[in-house]
Amino acid sequence: MSALLSVQSASKRFRGLLAVDSVSFEVEQGAIFAVIGPNGAGKTTLFNLIAGVYRPEQGAIAFDGRRIDGLSPDAICALGLARTFQIVRPFPHLSVLENAIIGALLHESDVEAARGAASDVLRLLDLWDIRARKAASLTLPDRKRLEVARALATRPRLLLLDEVMAGLRPAETDRMVDILKDLNRSQGLTILMIEHVMRAVMALADRIHVLHHGATIAEGAPEDVTRDPAVIESYLGQADHPVGALG
């Protein structure tokens, strides 16, 4: 496998705060790669650098061998890199299907073609039966899946998932895990995820990258990272992430 995404020595500062401190990693084609760390570790800022919201002050970011740091978010999305957001904000007065159609219009030439593509995505995410419902009426689990559906409708090769498990019950988390596994295996979708729910991280990730105070403190296979003393001390040993609960 080859690297689909390459982040090399990326840094971002907000006034006196170094939010991302010379972070480097590669995500291989077809992988599921997780970024974890405590709140304030720089994870979402890192996603914003990759997705084009911010430009890194140093370093380089490449997607499929092409430099993308400095490109606009819409240009990066058009290349095949889509993202979800930690706080989901669908168009509340549009239906589930209409929300997905908006994403599909990135590559489809007309509304009917976009409707067909969006319909396929909703079936994958178990949202087809509620396609006519207004987004404002959805439960949190359904809104989370709609957020993923809107991103998938843009036909990405790499999907950035920002805490899609947050607020879900264990059964709902397991359902999302199954959906993401299927997308990865059946469609070859590469996934880069920020996640606090270690149950999901351990079930999905091939590799884990750990941030603390904006800097990398560990990277490796899940079973190795979760035994790393620095990771246990800075993150997994916290009350809401007990190491013994990783199974």
E strand intervals along 181-245? 190-194, 207-212, 215-220
| E-state strands within the chain | 3-14, 17-28, 32-36, 58-63, 66-67, 81-83, 158-162, 190-194, 207-212, 215-220
Token pair belonging to 3 = 């690297």
Q: What is the DSSP string of 211-222?
A: EETTEEEEEE-H
**Residues with Cβ within 8 Å of residue 178, at least 6 apart in sequence:** none
State the Cα–Cα distance between residues 46 and 212, nearest whole angstrom: 12
Confidence category of residue 241, pLDDT binned at 50, 70, 90: low
* CATH numbers and ranges of domains, the chain: 3-80+156-245 (3.40.50.300), 90-153 (no CATH)
167-186: buried (b, 16+ CB within 10 Å) or exposed (e) per residue? ebeeebbeebbebbeebbee
Nearest to 131 by CA among 146, 144, 117: 146
Q: What is the mean pLDDT of the chain?
A: 93
Token pair belonging to 202: 């351990």
Question: With left for phi above 0 and alpha for psi between -120 and 50, is residue 190 left, alpha or beta?
Answer: beta
Rounded distance, CA 162 to CA 160, Å? 6
> Do the beta carbons of residue 76 and residue 158 sit within 8 Å?
no
At residue 6 the predicted structure's pLDDT band, cuts being 50, 70 and 90, is very high
Question: Rounded to an integer, what distance in angstroms lies between the CA atom of residue 189 and that of residue 88?
Answer: 21
Are 47 and 21 contacting, i.e. CB atoms less than 8 angstroms apart? no
pLDDT for 16 equals 86
Please report the pLDDT score of residue 242 as a whole number. Answer: 46
Question: Which residues are CB-contacts of 139 (< 8 A; sequence separation ≥ 6)?
Answer: none
Read off the pLDDT of residues 7-32 as tens digits, 9 standing for 90 and up: 999 999 998 899 999 999 999 999 99
Look at residue 34 in the predicted model and tell me its pLDDT.
98
Q: Mind listing the pLDDT tens digit for each residue in 69-100?
A: 999 999 999 999 999 998 999 999 999 999 99
